A = this chain, B = another copy of it.
């Protein structure tokens, strides 16, 4: 059979976040594989209450572990590197990344006791890594974290480009500008396929440079009367520098709050990406400074409940407190789905009399992703035979396909689980892999479809009742059935305690039940559960989840 060049997204193609893409080359079913990115996405109360992190389902890869020649991480954002620690044991393939990204990947692996040499640091293009039939090079792109890279992946079937997350920014403040000449060089031998970031495909205006917002931020810092507190993604090192530089020029000292903020600055200084960052003052010293001489740079731009922003909105944090006359700047965009958390903070700050400035004016934040005109520019620069949109929800991927086709290129839609053969002409789907999501739940990995979280959601919606019944040595009920409720109203329409109502109905059944019914655990359990649900429905209008425990005395 003819060798194939396969592309299989396991995460990121049908969602924003949780990026994980597989490339393979070889005879069908025997392809050698590489993995690009192992990212996470974040849980929410609606669909994944109590879950700590959501990871791609790598079962397909795990079964083919002996065929994986490398894991390549494009950049150090959590949705690209966040699952490396949690999933490494399942894949055990060498990890490749540029220096700054490797720094973060190693920290994640260290938590699982994996030594640093699991990660190999690779220089930028023209340096290459050979991994099985693939020769891979990290080509710098501008994004919102240092050392972001797209990948030029050379295969026996031709060159494939994986864009990674990118924008076209000639003046990114920190890190490498987008280098058109370099990318033209990458494109020169011809590009078989471009796998391309889709997150901002619905933004129709040209992207703006990171350097375009510095002046406005500086003006805000200079004009603010009290303390200024600013939040952004900690990983946006360029923004941290823009904010810190503006503070310095406005006569404000910088204090970092939040572990991620401190860690990211340390990492950026250590790897040489952050030079002449002003000396920071610790919180205890910050509290002594005049308010108009202080900038707090804090985590929690998405309204996360435990982050510094949320803590400051609620009250004191490390001895610091926001007051009337202070200014709080969201130098960030609220990711869809996080609005409630952000609005909660805004209202809490409003109650304190703090002036809140958000990005609605467009002056204090720019995106790190390529808008529609920049996507078109990359298509044109690389002139791939086919554009395969990735990193986006379904609506983004389809819009990106339409964008490619509007300029006469071929766009191919490939959602998570789709196996494309990029060597086929035309490129087409050749297989479909069942993909799911994996939850990190406490310290355990569980499948999203295992039912564990579904049961928790049901308890959240319906409440819970425990029924216990003891059956004696003779097969007769010993005493009456007993109920305990959790998450249910204490009384319903009769005004009697709910447990009394439930127990009365249960007892009525048990006291009249045939010995045969009482002898059959399964049937008895089912019956008791139904009685509770029916009785609760009548009394309080809800059908609770029920745990029945039948104890038989030997």
User: Measuring CB to CB, which residues of chain A are less than 8 angstroms from any residue of chain B?
Assistant: 14, 44-46, 49-50, 202, 336-337, 339-340, 343, 346-348, 350-351, 353, 356, 360, 393-395, 398, 441-444, 446, 450, 452-453, 455-457, 459-464, 466, 468, 470, 478-479, 482, 484, 486-493, 537, 540-542, 545, 547, 549, 551, 553-554
The answer to whether B50 touches A463 (Cβ under 8 A) is yes
Q: Assess the A482–B551 pair: CB atoms within 8 A.
A: yes
**Which residue of B45, B343, B351, B450 is within 8 Å of A45 (Cβ)?**
B45
CB pair B340–A468 under 8 Å, yes or no, is no
Contact between A50 and B461, CB atoms less than 8 A apart? yes
Chain A to chain B contacts (Cβ below 8 Å), 15 pairs: A44-B45, A45-B49, A49-B460, A50-B460, A202-B360, A343-B393, A350-B395, A353-B398, A442-B489, A442-B541, A450-B489, A452-B487, A455-B487, A468-B549, A482-B549
Residues of B within 8 A of A455 (CB): 463, 486-487
User: For residue A450, which residues in chain B have a CB less than 8 angstroms away from its CB?
Assistant: 489
Partner among B347, B360, B456, B540 whose Cβ is within 8 Å of the Cβ of A459? B456
B492 touches A549 (CB 8 A): no
Contacts of A486 in B (CB 8 A): 455-456, 459, 464, 545, 547
Q: Which residues of B contact A540 (CB under 8 A)?
A: 441-444
Other-chain contact of A487, B340, B394, B456, B468 (Cβ < 8 Å): B456
Query: What's the minimum C-beta distance from A403 to chain B, rounded to whole angstroms?
Result: 14
Given contacts A459-B459, A540-B441, contact A466 B393 (CB under 8 A): no
CA–CA, A486 and B202, complex, Å: 42
- The 7 lowest CB-CB distance pairs between A and B, nearest first, are A442-B541, A443-B541, A460-B460, A456-B487, A442-B542, A49-B460, A50-B461
CA distance in complex: A547, B551 (Å): 16
Identify the interface centre among A443, A453, A461: most chain B CB within 10 Å of its CB: A443
Given known pairs A347-B393, A462-B50, the reply for A493 and B453 (CB within 8 Å) is no
Q: Give which listed residue, B340, B348, B493, B551, contacts A470 with CB less than 8 A.
A: B551
List of B residues within 8 angstroms of A484 by Cβ: 547, 549
In the bound complex, how far is the Cα of B443 from the Cα of A446, in angstroms? 35
- How far is the CB of A394 from the nearest CB of chain B, in Å? 4
Question: How far is B285's CA from A407's CA once the two chains are assembled, in angstroms?
Answer: 41
A282–B339 Cα distance when bound, in Å, is 38
The answer to whether A351 touches B394 (Cβ under 8 A) is yes
- A395–B45 contact, CB under 8 A? no
Nearest neighbor of A402 in chain B, beta-carbon distance: B355
The residues of B that contact A493 with a CB separation of less than 8 Å are 443-444
For A549, list chain B residues within 8 Å (CB): 466, 468, 482, 484, 549
Cα–Cα distance between A462 and B459 once the two chains are bound (Å): 11
**Which residues of the other chain, B, contact A337 by a CB distance below 8 angstroms?**
339-340, 343
CA of A89 to CA of B484, assembled, Å: 31
Q: In the complex, which of the residues B398, B487, B553 contacts A478, with contact meaning CB atoms closer than 8 Å?
A: B553
Whole-angstrom distance from the CB of A152 to the nearest CB of chain B? 30
- Which B residue sits closest to A488, measured CB to CB? B452
Name the CB-closest residue of B to A338. B339
Residues on B with C-beta less than 8 A from A340 are: 44, 46, 336-337
Q: With the chains together, A394 CA to B343 CA distance in Å?
A: 10
Q: Across the interface, which residues of B come within 8 angstroms of A14, CB to CB?
A: 347
Residues of B within 8 A of A554 (CB): 479
In the assembled complex, how far is the CB of residue A463 from the closest CB belonging to chain B, in whole angstroms?
A: 6
Known: A50-B463, A336-B340. 13 other contacts (CB 8 A): A45-B460, A336-B343, A343-B395, A347-B395, A350-B393, A350-B394, A356-B395, A441-B540, A444-B492, A444-B540, A456-B486, A470-B551, A482-B549
Complex interface: chain B residues within 8 A of A470 (CB): 470, 551, 553
Least distance between A351 CB and chain B CB atoms (Å): 5
Measured CB to CB, the nearest residue on chain B to A546 is B486
Question: Closest CB of chain B to A224's CB: distance in Å?
Answer: 16
A46-B545 Cα distance, complex, nearest whole Å: 20
> In the complex, which residues of chain B have a beta carbon less than 8 angstroms from the beta carbon of A46?
44-46, 340
Bound Cα distance from A547 to B465, whole angstroms: 9
Which of B353, B459, B478, B492 is within 8 Å of A464, CB to CB? B459
**Is A452 a contact of B347 with CB atoms below 8 Å?**
no
A489 and B446 in contact, given A50-B463, A393-B347, A470-B470 (Cβ under 8 angstroms): yes
**What residue of chain B has the Cβ atom nearest to residue A415's Cβ?**
B351
Q: Is the CB of B545 within 8 A of A443?
A: no
Q: How distant is A417 from chain B, measured CB to nearest CB, in Å? A: 13
Q: Are A466 and B44 in contact (CB under 8 A)?
A: no
Q: Which residue of the partner chain B has the closest CB to A536?
A: B442
Among B339, B395, B491, B537, point to the contact of A336 (Cβ < 8 A).
B339
Question: Roughly how many angstroms separate A484 CA and B553 CA in the complex, as a whole number?
Answer: 18
Q: Which residue on chain B has the smallest CB distance to residue A491?
A: B444
CA distance A450 to B498 in the complex (A): 15
The reply to whether B489 and A452 form a contact with Cβ atoms under 8 Å apart is yes
